[in-house]
Amino acid sequence: MSALAGDWQPRPDWAGILAEQGAENATLVILDQREGREGRWVVNPERAAERLSPASTFKVPHALFALDAGVVEDEFEVIPWDGQERDVPAWNQDQTLRSALRYSTVWVFQRLAEQIGAERERAYLSEIGYGNATLGDDVESFWLDGSLRVTAIEQVDFLERLYAMALPFAEADQRLVKDIMINEAGRDWILRAKSGWDGQIGWWVGWVERSGGPVFFALNLDTPRRLADLPKREAITRAVLHRLEALPAPQ
């Protein structure tokens, strides 16, 4: 997939939603595959083609790597806490793959990366064509330290392949990762998503499943106000998804 395929249509009308949230430096990519509503839309196409650190959004492909490599068996295997107190209270306990994705537990994926090893990590990155597929010097931080970089359009491409179970992994593993990505669901829709933040760039990526087809999204934005900027990720994306009727209107 090219960095800026010609069929991505700019949506300047959505820029107002970003402006309302004070997100001047941001991009949002939407791929709507619902029957009769198909479209490929982007706010700020130049930034959508810029490769940035994926931060914790990489936990989605990383979970697939760990399952394929056999360093974690399933979503029930307990990953013992090392007893080291960390800033996020939810991290200070034993974890499973499901809880590690939900709480974005960094130490779990650092341990899994060490067990997978640099050679296999590089092979997996190359095999799925994830961003620049670059590991850098530290197998425990390459998705956080700027070595690995991916565009918003490439994020959507990866998610589209995961949705279709078209990645080079066992179908059961892809189904499992899709299951642990569920954020919320209604009678006729499911939202699967993952956030990310490296201290400078915030992400929210995923898709909404509807009966007519999926709607994929990838947003990234600068976070000069750090934690105060993080709620903007979901607020902006949800506002656009509501406008597209991909998510039901808020009550």
pLDDT digits (tens, 9 = 90+) for 214-247: 999 999 999 999 999 999 999 999 999 999 999 9
pTM (2 d.p.)? 0.94
Among 18-27, 120-129, 146-155, 189-198, the range scoring the smallest mean pLDDT is 18-27
> Among 71, 64, 77, 70, which residue's Cα sits nearest to residue 176?
64
What is the rounded distance in angstroms from the CA atom of residue 121 to the CA atom of residue 225?
33
Superfamily of 25-243 according to CATH = DD-peptidase/beta-lactamase superfamily (3.40.710.10)
Sheet containing strand 39-43, edge to edge, reads 9-10, 39-43, 26-32, 213-222, 201-210, 189-197, 182-186
> Among 166, 111, 136, which residue's Cα sits nearest to residue 54?
136
> Whose structure tokens read 């990838």?
218
Q: How confident is the model at residue 249 (pLDDT cuts 50, 70, 90)?
A: confident
Choose, from 53, 56, 99, 195, the residue flagged as catalytic. Answer: 56
Is the pLDDT at 166 greater than 70? The verdict is yes
| Pairwise pLDDT comparison (241 vs 15), residue with the higher score | 241
What is the model's pLDDT at position 72? 97
What do you get for the CA distance between the two ends of the chain, in Å? 38
Q: Which amino acid is at 20?
A: E
What is the model's pLDDT at position 251? 67
Backbone φ, ψ for residue 189 (5° rounding): -155, 155
Give me the chain's average pLDDT, please.
95
Q: How confident is the model at residue 89 (pLDDT cuts 50, 70, 90)?
A: very high
Q: How confident is the model at residue 24 (pLDDT cuts 50, 70, 90)?
A: confident
Is the pLDDT at 3 greater than 50? The verdict is no
What is the model's pLDDT at position 250? 76
Q: What is the mean pLDDT of residues 59-66?
A: 98
Residues 6+ apart with CB under 8 A from 175: 165
What is the rounded distance in angstroms from the CA atom of residue 150 to the CA atom of residue 134?
10
Is the pLDDT at 16 greater than 50? The verdict is yes
202-231 CB burial, b ≥16 within 10 A, e <16: bbbbbbbbbeebbbbbbbbbebeeeeebbe
Q: How confident is the model at residue 1 (pLDDT cuts 50, 70, 90)?
A: very low
What is the rounded distance in angstroms from the CA atom of residue 54 to the CA atom of residue 195?
9
Q: What is the mean pLDDT of residues 79-87?
A: 95
Active site residue 211: no
Among 9-18, 93-102, 172-181, the range scoring the smallest mean pLDDT is 9-18
What is the model's pLDDT at position 143? 97
What is the rounded distance in angstroms from the CA atom of residue 224 to the CA atom of residue 103?
23
